[in-house]
Amino acid sequence: MIRIRGIVFRLHPLFVLLMLLSVLTGRFAEIGTLFSIVLLHELGHLLMALRFGWTVREVKLLPFGGVLEVEEAGSVPAKEEVLVALAGPLQNAALAGLAWLFGQAGLVDPLWTGDFIAANALIALFNLLPILPLDGGRMLQAGFSLHIPYHRTLLWSARISLLFSFAVVCAAMYPLTRGGLLHLNLLVIGLFLCASNWTYLRNVPFVFLRFLVHRAKRSEARIDGGTLAQPIVVSDQRPLSSVVRLLMKERYHLVYVMNRGSVSRVVPEGKLIDGFLGSLTNGHADLRFFM
């Protein structure tokens, strides 16, 4: 673990395992190159996140990329999330381009150049798969958040990630059906992604609760900014837990509470969230709490 300007850089245990295996097999150059590519890939994410003013707590390096732990999780604009996610693969593209130029100029060994370009292409393309926490999964989640409520966004991005993680496991085992060899590295990564996304799916309620806490803190700022509100129309009998699940990440909402066919009250989203968070301890469960 290394701390630089308050940001912790850490190797994931899966990467440590891969490094130990490389020691046993004598593939020091390959693991050194992989570590450099992954680190530079993740620095692309980090620099873009810092450019947007995100508060980065930790950078965790995995064999295929990394994960940024940020304070603003779930509260930053989808556009920023997409640009931060793209910064990693674009960094790989830039590295591959530089290697090609150096190879054309005769400054580096052509064999090394080809391997380096292939490694960058593999890391970039793998990270574009629609699997969390890969870059493609982050972009998929950001895209969903523009069109459907955030709670549903979390559920569907986790489900799709789990499906594609299982597909990675199947791809690793497929050569066995043709008389070939098992892709052990791919199998390990696929199993890790399956476990990671299964855990994420189970933790969606906690991830969503964290989103609501951050959202409540920023509601007043949205009002001060003169944002347009998107209405949500619900019955006063509806549980608060189901109403907050209708909130969209990129919208500010006013909730129109209906009683016998007429509007009985208009509740700002900030008050709605505060009421829901309070209901977790005081037992008020539906919109009649605001009457």
Q: Helix (H, G, I), strand (E, B), or coil: what is residue 265?
A: strand
Please compute Rg for the chain using Cα positions: 23
CB atoms within 10 A of CB 124: 21
CB atoms within 10 A of CB 65: 22
Alpha-carbon span 267 to 265, nearest angstrom: 6
Q: For residues 96-121, b (16+ Cβ closer than 10 Å) or e, as one string?
A: beebeeebeeeeeeeeebeebbebbe
Which amino acid is it at 262? S
Q: Determine which one of 30, 42, 72, 81 is catalytic.
A: 42
Cβ contact 19:31 at 8 Å = yes
Contacts of 256 (CB under 8 A, 6+ apart): 231, 232, 233, 234, 263, 266
Active site residue 30: no
Catalytic residues: 42
